[in-house]
Chain A
Amino acid sequence: MKEKVVEAIGLKKSFGDLHVLKGVDLDLHRGETVVILGKSGAGKSVFIKIMVGLLTQDSGVMRVLGQDVEKLKTKALNALRLKIGFSFQNSALYDSMTVKENLEFPLVRNIKNLSRKEKDLKIEEMLDSVGLPQTINQMPSELSGGQKKRIGVARTLILNPEIMLYDEPTAGLDPITCMDINNLINEVQERYRTSSIVITHDLTCAKVTGDRMAVLLDGQFRSKGSFQEVFSKAEDEQVKSFYDYNFIES
């Protein structure tokens, strides 16, 4: 069995009387991609936000790269965050900065003594790897949704993270762009040897990118396993309907 890079044990989280996570467990092993599926509002984003310390759980343990996230002090937490790439649901590009400045931001603030040339090279490499070298001087407002997503991914990749978290990378995109993004996720996986968590509603994306699936329903992971295991013999009605509706729609 490979080393666990993420280990969630009995995680609970509520907002007021809204119980979002009711004790979830999940392991992510080095080099694999786990896909988290689930309805809107199921708590998928909340789950990965706990992983980087943007939210804190009410109870349970979240261990990332062997460290208990909740117990980390600011400095150690920041050091851990640099090893995690977080691609936000709505890209979260800094809209007062150009694409170049967006990519530069994590770079110059976290790696000291970087020459201008090294910096530019790194930025070019990242833009090439997401296939958008021509956008370098554009503002985020001039990009399409799919382009924004890819620049967002480039910005998180620039620090060579060990773990990549993709929050709905294909939501709201046409099928062809979706496929581009799926391929990008797989390419990143191969080229940079990351371990990834992909959150999605999109079963094609899940099938293409994921080694394992986990379905989040009613605050718990109801079904885990390979795509075949989860969906071909799904006994759970809700898991099944997830599959059915997805394919009727597409």
Chain B
Amino acid sequence: MAEEADDRKPLLSKKIDKFFKGLADAWNFVRRYFQEVFMPPFEFKELIHQCYRIGVESLPLISLTGFIVGIVFTNQSRPSLSEFGASSWLPSLISIAVVRAMGPLVTALIAAGKVGSSIGAEIGSMKVTEQIDAMEVSATNPFKFLVVTRVTATTIMIPLLVMYTDFVALMGSFLNVNANEMVSLTTFFFQVFESITFLDIWSSVLKSILFGFTIGIVGCYKGYNSTKGTEGVGRAANSAVVISMFLIFIEELLALQIVNAIRNM
């Protein structure tokens, strides 16, 4: 009976149905994570392994990108500042831009591409080749072993990587400023630390935690629910990247609103 009713529904309403079913599914996945993350036994060894892997996977690209962003952004901002004779403000401007927005965003987007896709592909292929089932029949909870460890690892590692990116970007910026304005390292970083506030640092860390969680959970969810076949694995990896990037931008926008509200209080 239920199937007949389903057949008669127009296409659009079926699509909407599917969308909300997917949403409920994803919500349950997130809920399950929070249920299991605090429940022993803990998979510490696998967690450390995943943290290490995430670091190694994304460090080269993040170093390069952070450094270049620092240099380029400094170089591009100089003309407009010098127009007002304010090029001595460069370090302040750069530090605020890097710590508040660029560091977290650049890191998260790169990690979504590198780490998110590799998590999606890995778990997806474990799913379609029945490795997850194999884990389950050897009395290991695969959700705990695979999902909880990876999501926790990204949630821990992305904030650390963001701090690292901030540092590298500021170093890039320093090199540029040093070459053009002859500012010393101490003066540069004195100015940097003068202009960023506690609120900047806290909001950046909290935001990064959220980005990290998003990358991990989306990658795992897509992998865990990938359908049969190798094609499904590719699709899981791909949509893990697209969806987590999309969510990161939305979260960035929301965070911006919230932080601005706090700042104006």
On chain A, the residues within 8 Å of B136 by CB distance are 54, 81
Pick from B126, B131, B137: contact of A52, CB below 8 A: B137
Are A86 and B137 CB-contacts (below 8 A) given A92-B129, A92-B131, A95-B131?
Answer: yes
On chain B, the residues within 8 Å of A243 by CB distance are none
Q: Is the interface of A mostly helix, strand, loop or mixed?
A: loop
How many residues of A are counted as interface, with CB atoms below 8 angstroms from the partner's CB atoms?
Answer: 25
Instruction: Please provide the chain A residues from 77 to 129 with a CB less than 8 Å away from any CB of chain B in the complex.
Output: 78-79, 81-82, 84, 86, 88-90, 92-96, 105-106, 109-110
Residue in A closest to B41 when the chains form the complex, CB atoms? A109
Pick from B3, B125, B126, B138: contact of A105, CB below 8 A: B138
How many residues of B are counted as interface, with CB atoms below 8 angstroms from the partner's CB atoms?
Answer: 15
The smallest beta-carbon distance between B26 and chain A, in angstroms, is 22
Residue in A closest to B53 when the chains form the complex, CB atoms? A96
On chain A, the residues within 8 Å of B137 by CB distance are 52, 54, 81, 84, 86
On chain A, the residues within 8 Å of B133 by CB distance are 49, 54, 88, 92
Inter-chain contact A109/B140, CB cutoff 8 Å: yes
The smallest beta-carbon distance between A14 and chain B, in angstroms, is 11
Q: In whole angstroms, what is the CA distance A110 to B41 when docked?
A: 12
The smallest beta-carbon distance between A90 and chain B, in angstroms, is 6
Q: In whole angstroms, what is the CA distance A48 to B140 when docked?
A: 19
Inter-chain contact A92/B139, CB cutoff 8 Å: no
Residue in B closest to A94 when the chains form the complex, CB atoms? B131
Q: In whole angstroms, what is the CA distance A96 to B125 when docked?
A: 11
Pick from B122, B126, B134, B139: contact of A88, CB below 8 A: B134
Pick from A49, A90, A96, A109: contact of B138, CB below 8 A: A109
A249 at the interface (CB under 8 A from B): no
Residue in B closest to A159 when the chains form the complex, CB atoms? B138
Inter-chain contact A90/B3, CB cutoff 8 Å: no
A17 at the interface (CB under 8 A from B): yes
Inter-chain contact A96/B134, CB cutoff 8 Å: no
B25 at the interface (CB under 8 A from A): no
Interface contact tally, CB-CB below 8 A: 52
Inter-chain contact B3/A17, CB cutoff 8 Å: yes
On chain B, the residues within 8 Å of A82 by CB distance are 138-139
Q: In whole angstroms, what is the CA distance A81 to B140 when docked?
A: 10
The smallest beta-carbon distance between A161 and chain B, in angstroms, is 10
B130 at the interface (CB under 8 A from A): yes
Instruction: Please provide the chain B residues from 113 to 172 with a CB less than 8 Å away from any CB of chain A in the complex.
Output: 122, 125-126, 129-131, 133-140
Inter-chain contact A81/B139, CB cutoff 8 Å: yes
On chain A, the residues within 8 Å of B134 by CB distance are 86, 88, 92, 94
Q: In whole angstroms, what is the CA distance A109 to B140 when docked?
A: 7
The smallest beta-carbon distance between A164 and chain B, in angstroms, is 12
On chain B, the residues within 8 Å of A52 by CB distance are 137
Residue in A closest to B138 when the chains form the complex, CB atoms? A106
Q: In whole angstroms, what is the CA distance A105 to B137 when docked?
A: 12
On chain B, the residues within 8 Å of A90 by CB distance are 129-130
Q: In whole angstroms, what is the CA distance A93 to B134 when docked?
A: 8
On chain B, the residues within 8 Å of A79 by CB distance are 139
On chain B, the residues within 8 Å of A94 by CB distance are 126, 131, 134-135
Contact mask for chain A residues 150-172; partner B; CB cutoff 8 A; 1 contact, 0 none:
00000100010000000000000
Point out which of A16, A78, A84, A93 has the most chain B C-beta atoms below 10 A from its C-beta: A78
Q: In whole angstroms, what is the CA distance A52 to B129 when docked?
A: 18
On chain B, the residues within 8 Å of A155 by CB distance are 138
On chain B, the residues within 8 Å of A106 by CB distance are 138-140
On chain A, the residues within 8 Å of B140 by CB distance are 105-106, 109
On chain A, the residues within 8 Å of B3 by CB distance are 16-17
Instruction: Please provide the chain A residues from 4 to 48 with a CB less than 8 Å away from any CB of chain B in the complex.
Output: 16-17
Q: In whole angstroms, what is the CA distance A78 to B126 when docked?
A: 20
On chain A, the residues within 8 Å of B130 by CB distance are 88-90, 92
Q: Which 7 pairs show the lowest CB-CB distances between chains A and B?
A: A78-B139, A92-B134, A106-B138, A92-B130, A86-B137, A52-B137, A81-B139
List B residues at the A interface (Cβ < 8 Å).
Answer: 3, 122, 125-126, 129-131, 133-140
19 A-B pairs whose Cβ atoms sit less than 8 Å apart in the complex: A17-B3, A52-B137, A54-B133, A54-B137, A81-B139, A82-B138, A82-B139, A84-B137, A88-B130, A90-B130, A92-B129, A92-B131, A92-B134, A93-B131, A94-B131, A105-B138, A109-B138, A109-B140, A110-B138
List A residues at the B interface (Cβ < 8 Å).
Answer: 16-17, 49, 52, 54, 78-79, 81-82, 84, 86, 88-90, 92-96, 105-106, 109-110, 155, 159
Extra contacts, 20 of them, besides A95-B129, A96-B122, A110-B139 (Cβ < 8 A), are: A17-B3, A49-B133, A54-B136, A79-B139, A81-B137, A82-B138, A84-B137, A86-B134, A88-B130, A89-B130, A92-B134, A94-B126, A95-B125, A95-B126, A105-B135, A105-B138, A105-B140, A106-B138, A106-B139, A106-B140
